[in-house]
Amino acid sequence: RSQECSLSSRATSRALVAAVVAMARRVNARYERYLERSFPRFYVLYSTFTTGVQALFLEVKEIRRIRSKMSQQRLQVQQLPYRDMERLRQVRGSGRLVLDPDSLPSFWRQFRRDALKAIPIGIIAIPPFANFLVIALMYFFPRQLLIRYFWTPKQQVEFQEVYDCIRRASYPAVVQSLALAARSLPEPQPRELLQQLCTQVQGGARPHLAQLLAVRSLFSESPLVLSRLQVDHVRALSQVLFLTPHLPAIFLRHRLLSHVLEIRHLDRALLRLGLGQLSEEELQAACYLRGLNSTHLDRAECRAWLEQWLRLSCELQASEASLLAHSMVLLSLNY
């Protein structure tokens, strides 16, 4: 009898909890319908906030799954399928690249930064009705205070444009620095080829893949290897990859190299998967990461550009990472 009473009590408790949850959902649904009818602009912010919270928890769950998979199968980052590797890269804000391919913990660096950025917002939202204050912050300072989970679709496009404008401002400086560095090359024929390439890009033309491959050997030797570039040159390239340029030169060069190699790992994973397997949104994101603002490009344009990029990237060796970094500018500037 005691066991039956215990089972009956548990069933009653579960039924009571289910009834309370169902009632809360009905009240919340009515509240949302009221907001949607009476305050449509406010409702957009409210729904963005609630959807963002759900997406953030799902992201945490997915990252834990990938980490568990890597631990159980003893996989390195570069051995993951493209979408898993890309998901790890995407636990970041504002389209910024922050991954280090040779260090697993750094894959979570920006995620931790996003989490730390979200903690104050979460604390503010704890008291009853405090989510109204959070929504006010979302309205006035979305890009500065909120992580990408709490941006509306319109804001995501708008902020991508903002960050791309900042990035593209450094493109002419990269080409100019490359042209200046080419003058110091000892061999006349490859020097002339590189100078012609820079002049062509500065004149508004797009380089061909064969032109880039013709000068590839120059980028694995001094003075064009990443570790030997001038500081101003490295700072401009760092901005192309959304890296802060305000660090000592030794750190700038190390971070730049690790980020370029990380893109190279992604490229090989993407080649294994095949561009035909990507959605239009995934194609646009892949182009944006590699230096091209794909916000206004359609699926065919993104795929054509990525095919050219992959042919170059998967041809280059790790020692030629400098050419891959410069190609983010050379292939995007006049596209």
Q: Give pLDDT tens digits for 214-233.
A: 999 899 887 899 989 999 99
**Domain closes at, from 131, 147, 163:** 147
**Domain closes at, from 83, 112, 147:** 147
Predicted local distance difference test score (pLDDT) of residue 59: 79
Asked if residue 2 is part of any domain, the answer here is no
Looking at the fold, whether 247 and 165 belong to one and the same domain comes out as: yes
Asked if residue 162 is part of any domain, the answer here is yes
Predicted local distance difference test score (pLDDT) of residue 240: 94
Looking at the fold, whether 195 and 272 belong to one and the same domain comes out as: yes
Asked if residue 111 is part of any domain, the answer here is no
Predicted local distance difference test score (pLDDT) of residue 279: 93
Q: Which residue has the higher pLDDT, 66 or 127?
A: 66
- For the record, the structure tokens of 197 come out as 């390439």
Looking at the fold, whether 266 and 143 belong to one and the same domain comes out as: no
The whole-angstrom separation of Cα 318 and Cα 225 is 11
**Lowest model confidence (mean pLDDT) among 45-59, 122-136, 170-184, 251-265:** 122-136
Mean pLDDT value of segment 240-260: 91
Predicted local distance difference test score (pLDDT) of residue 189: 86
CA distances from 27 to 20, 31, 34 (A): 11, 6, 11
**Lowest model confidence (mean pLDDT) among 98-107, 125-134, 170-179, 182-191:** 98-107
Asked if residue 314 is part of any domain, the answer here is yes
Looking at the fold, whether 140 and 181 belong to one and the same domain comes out as: no
Q: Taking the CB of residue 144, how many other CB atoms lie within 10 A of it?
A: 8
Owning domain of residue 18: 13-94+120-147
Where does the pLDDT of residue 203 fall: very low under 50, low under 70, confident under 90, or very high at 90 and above? very high
Predicted local distance difference test score (pLDDT) of residue 97: 35
Domain count, the chain: 2
Mean pLDDT over each residue of the chain, to the nearest integer: 81
pLDDT value at 18 more than 50: yes
pLDDT digits (tens, 9 = 90+) for 111-159: 555 555 566 666 666 565 556 666 666 666 666 666 677 777 787 888 8
Looking at the fold, whether 189 and 264 belong to one and the same domain comes out as: yes
Looking at the fold, whether 229 and 267 belong to one and the same domain comes out as: yes
Looking at the fold, whether 272 and 218 belong to one and the same domain comes out as: yes
Looking at the fold, whether 199 and 306 belong to one and the same domain comes out as: yes
Looking at the fold, whether 180 and 316 belong to one and the same domain comes out as: yes
Predicted local distance difference test score (pLDDT) of residue 108: 43
**Lowest model confidence (mean pLDDT) among 51-60, 81-90, 184-193:** 51-60
Asked if residue 85 is part of any domain, the answer here is yes
Q: What percent of the chain has pLDDT over 90?
A: 42
The whole-angstrom separation of Cα 46 and Cα 156 is 16
Asked if residue 206 is part of any domain, the answer here is yes
User: Which residues lie closer than 8 Å to 308 by C-beta, 6 or more apart?
Assistant: 209, 331
Asked if residue 224 is part of any domain, the answer here is yes
Looking at the fold, whether 135 and 178 belong to one and the same domain comes out as: no
Where does the pLDDT of residue 72 fall: very low under 50, low under 70, confident under 90, or very high at 90 and above? confident
Q: For every residue of the chain, which 3-state class applies, written as one string?
A: CHHHHHHHHHHHHHHHHHHHHHHHHHHHHHHHHHHHHHCHHHHHHHHHHHHHHHHHHHHHHHHHHHHHHHHHHCCCHHHCCHHHHHHHHHCCCCCCCCCCCCCHHHHHHHHHHHHHHHHHHHHHCCCCCCHHHHHHHHHHCHHHHCCHHHCCHHHHHHHHHHHHHHHHCCHHHHHHHHHHHHCCCCCHHHHHHHHHHHHHHHCCCCCCHHHHHHCHHHHHCCCCCHHHCCHHHHHHHHHHCCCCCCCCHHHHHHHHHHHHHHHHHHHHHHHHHCHHHCCHHHHHHHHHHCCCCCCCCCHHHHHHHHHHHHHHHCCCCHHHHHHHHHHHHHCCCCC
The whole-angstrom separation of Cα 15 and Cα 17 is 5
Predicted local distance difference test score (pLDDT) of residue 165: 92
Q: Report pTM.
A: 0.75
Looking at the fold, whether 229 and 317 belong to one and the same domain comes out as: yes
Asked if residue 101 is part of any domain, the answer here is no
pLDDT digits (tens, 9 = 90+) for 83-99: 888 887 765 433 333 33
Q: What percent of the chain has pLDDT over 70?
A: 77
Looking at the fold, whether 169 and 132 belong to one and the same domain comes out as: no
User: Which residues lie closer than 8 Å to 333 by C-beta, 6 or more apart?
Assistant: 168, 171, 172, 175, 201
